[in-house]
Amino acid sequence: MHATTTDYRAPQSWVALAVFLVLVIGIGALIGTQSVPGAWYEQLTKPPLNPPNWVFGPVWFALYVLIAIAGWRIWVAAPTSNAMKFWGGQMLLNWAWSPIWFLAQQPWLAFAVLVAMWLSIVGFIVTSRRHDTLAPWLFAPYLAWVSFAGYLNLSIALLNPGA
């Protein structure tokens, strides 16, 4: 089922979009402020292409906006679909990654979470195409960034045995 323009423009749909934005950005920001890079992260050997810490906040804010909009569009079109289940799964994995990485200081466990997140993102992209033409494209930058994060996570785990 595809939603119509009328479905997206309905007042309750705009309320739902606001809820998606507040939850995704709000929870992401809360987790981000509670699991900031500290001394442990600073002393790790980093791979080439490791961006400066200030890059991550703006990138994640932009990605969270896209993630929220994609989730909202699928929720309007097919709230009980597999696409929505993948969306929820990737979101939980996304929120779990930072505490596992920065607070628990577990690079290998964080990498396992990241792989599961990557698979959930791909699952969302594949299944959401049945319900909406824009939602899967909104996840393309997210997939690219999580792929890059996988390179960083795995490289740091390999460069820092015992970390």
CA atoms of 39 and 25, how far apart (whole Å): 26
For the chain, first and last CA: distance in Å? 48
CA distance linking residue 127 with residue 145, whole number of Å: 20
Q: What is the share, in percent, of the chain residues with pLDDT greater than 70? A: 96
Average pLDDT of 39-59? 94
Q: How many CB atoms lie within 10 A of CB 26?
A: 11
Question: Under CATH, which number does the domain 5-159 receive?
Answer: 1.20.1260
> 117-131: per-residue pLDDT in tens?
999 999 999 999 999
Every domain of the chain and the residues it spans: 5-159
The pTM for the full model equals 0.92
Question: For 62-84, how does the pLDDT look when each residue is reduced to its tens digit (9 = 90+)?
Answer: 999 999 999 999 999 999 999 99
Angle made by CA atoms 55, 83, 25, in degrees to the nearest 5? 30
85's tokens: 């289940």
Q: Is the pLDDT of residue 41 over 70?
A: yes
H helices then E strands: how many in the chain? Answer: 8, 0
pLDDT given for residue 1 in this prediction: 61
pLDDT of residue 33: 87
